[in-house]
């Protein structure tokens, strides 16, 4: 605790010095623009230029399929899952049995993650409408992580498979780095959902 106070004090001193050096000049705030790291698909304001409806859940699936194909060269999950079932759920969290918590506003099901040719993902509509595009992408990729890759949850907040899929502080680069690790099947503590063989 003593150490902490000392650091704080030094920090204050430095601040004071730099202020007098400025001789009253206004402090210039430099806003650093984050340069987006490379991704082979775009996650711009609209996922699909032809479709302005961000509530169209299939857009997130198509984006994911394209993303896997161009990031990793395949597999083509669109071909493997010819009729994905991705739907809004209008029940409340309390009404849906297990596996859904308020931090985890969507869910995948046994019939999806234990079937390589089926995708079955429900999204809680009320919670969904409060999220921005990046959060929605994070949520949907998380569910596809369960459904397509059969991933269990990760304990690292930086991973898409971390259970609190609705972090408010994510930025586009966090997302791109996390989805690249997810596609490469390379994040620490990776675990798979056991399915009957
Ligand atoms: Zn999950």
- Please answer whether residues 152 and 192 qualify as being in contact, where contact means their C-beta atoms are separated by less than 8 angstroms: yes
Tokens coding 184: 């490469």
Domains of the chain: 50-183 (3.40.390)
pLDDT per residue as tens digits for the range 84-120: 999 998 877 667 765 555 556 888 888 888 999 999 9
Is the pLDDT at 4 greater than 90, yes or no?
no
Give residue 49 CA to ligand 1 midpoint distance, Å: 29
* pTM of model > 0.85: no
Please enumerate in sequence order all residues whose Cβ is within 8 A of that of 58, keeping only pairs 6 or more positions apart, or say none. Answer: 84, 86
For 6-40, write each residue's pLDDT tens digit. 344 344 444 444 444 455 556 666 666 678 899 99
Q: What distance in angstroms lies between residue 88's CA and the mean position of ligand 1's atoms?
A: 16
Helix axes 133-147, 172-183, angle to 10 degrees: 10
Long-range contacts of 89-96 (CB under 8 A, 24+ apart): 89/122, 89/123, 89/124, 89/125, 90/125, 90/126, 91/124, 92/124, 92/126, 93/124, 96/122, 96/124
| Neighbouring C-beta atoms of residue 147, cutoff 10 Å | 28
Q: Cα of 153 to ligand 1 centre, how many Å?
A: 6
CA of 163 to the centre of ligand 1 (A): 5
């Amino acid at each position: 605790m003593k150490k902490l106070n000392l650091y704080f004090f030094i920090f204050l001193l430095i601040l004071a010095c730099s202020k007098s050096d400025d001789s009253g000049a206004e402090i210039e705030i430099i806003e650093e623009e984050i340069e987006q790291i490379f991704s082979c698909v775009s996650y711009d304001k609209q996922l699909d230029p032809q479709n302005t409806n961000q509530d169209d859940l299939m857009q997130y699936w198509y984006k994911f399929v394209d993303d896997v194909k161009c990031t990793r060269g395949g597999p083509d999950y669109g071909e493997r899952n010819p009729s994905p079932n991705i739907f809004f759920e209008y029940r409340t969290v309390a009404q849906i049995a297990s596996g859904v918590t308020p931090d985890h506003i969507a869910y995948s099901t046994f019939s999806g993650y234990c079937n390589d040719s089926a995708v079955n993902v429900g999204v809680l509509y009320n919670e969904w409408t409060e999220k921005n595009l990046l959060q929605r992408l994070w949520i949907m990729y998380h569910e596809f992580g369960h459904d397509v890759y059969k991933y269990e949850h990760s304990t690292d907040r930086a991973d898409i498979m971390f259970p609190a899929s609705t972090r408010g502080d994510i930025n586009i680069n966090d997302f791109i780095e996390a989805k690249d690790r997810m596609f490469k099947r390379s994040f620490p503590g990776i675990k798979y959902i056991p399915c009957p063989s």
